[in-house]
Amino acid sequence: MLLHLSTWPEVEVYLNRSQGIIFPIGSTEQHGPTGLIGTDAICAQAIARGVGEAIDAMVAPTINVGMALHHTAFPGTISLRPSTMIQLIRDYILCLARAGFTKFFFINGHGGNIATLKAAFSETYAHLADLNIPNAQLVQCQVGNWFMCSSVYKLAKELYKDQEGSHATPSEVALTQYVYPEAIKQAPLSDQVASGHPIYGATDFRNRYPDGRMGSNPALATPEHGKQFYELAVKELSNGYLEFLNAN
């Protein structure tokens, strides 16, 4: 059930049976010479909608822009500052908490969002404590990173071994190929790819990772692999969401 394709009476009926909602969140950032700039949002949205369909859960509109400041030396990247993202997440949750939602499950497609999301949850709890909202004390937030699902991680290592890398990975590229087969990109990739450098500012990042990849070989990706990753992530995150929803 997609929030943006629902009416307010339909949401009111939904709240009579569930106070949980799934938020896909990703990023709009470079993903190497062959990865789509929308990769992280595409992956999060596809998996979140799959989870919603599998367990009849409400899915909120995708948050397409995240915290990707270190990628902004590459054209096309759009990023929020951590402080901006914290306020955005807080305001989203507060609006829906006023309506009666209490369980917020963020399906995340970008590693750079994790720290800011956790900070946003803490800020939100503190802010809720100062507001006169019924059931404010029941509001709970959790993040599920699809790329960190144990089944996804295991398959990625089996298929790609040490060429999975940590950014512009064949696993995430494969998932976008499955979702958008008409948008598969081809480009020459150097056999030499940087890895292991710490992440600082955007200029330093591009100097250390000149083509945007971090130890990865996305040429190994296929849409068939993407379908496997999709199915594994949907299954594991469906279970994770239900556990979260039913926990005190």
Predicted TM-score of the model (pTM): 0.97
CB 23 within 8 A of CB 143: no
CB 51 within 8 A of CB 238: yes
Q: pLDDT tens digits, residue range 2-39?
A: 999 999 999 999 999 999 999 999 999 999 999 999 99
Partners of 63 in beta bridges: 25
Residue 248 — very low, low, confident or very high, per pLDDT cuts 50/70/90?
confident
Dig out the tokens for 88 from the structure.
């955005």
| Torsion 165-168-169-170 (CA) sign | negative
Write the Ramachandran bin of 108: left for phi over 0, alpha for psi from -120 to 50, otherwise beta. beta
Q: pLDDT tens digits, residue range 110-151?
A: 999 999 999 999 999 999 999 888 889 999 999 999 999 999
Q: Which residues contact 237 (CB under 8 A, 6 or more apart)?
A: 47, 51, 107, 144, 146, 149
**For the CA atoms of 99, 95, 92, 131, what is the dihedral angle to 10 degrees?**
-110
- What is the set of domains in the chain, with CATH numbers? 3-187+198-246 (3.40.50.10310)
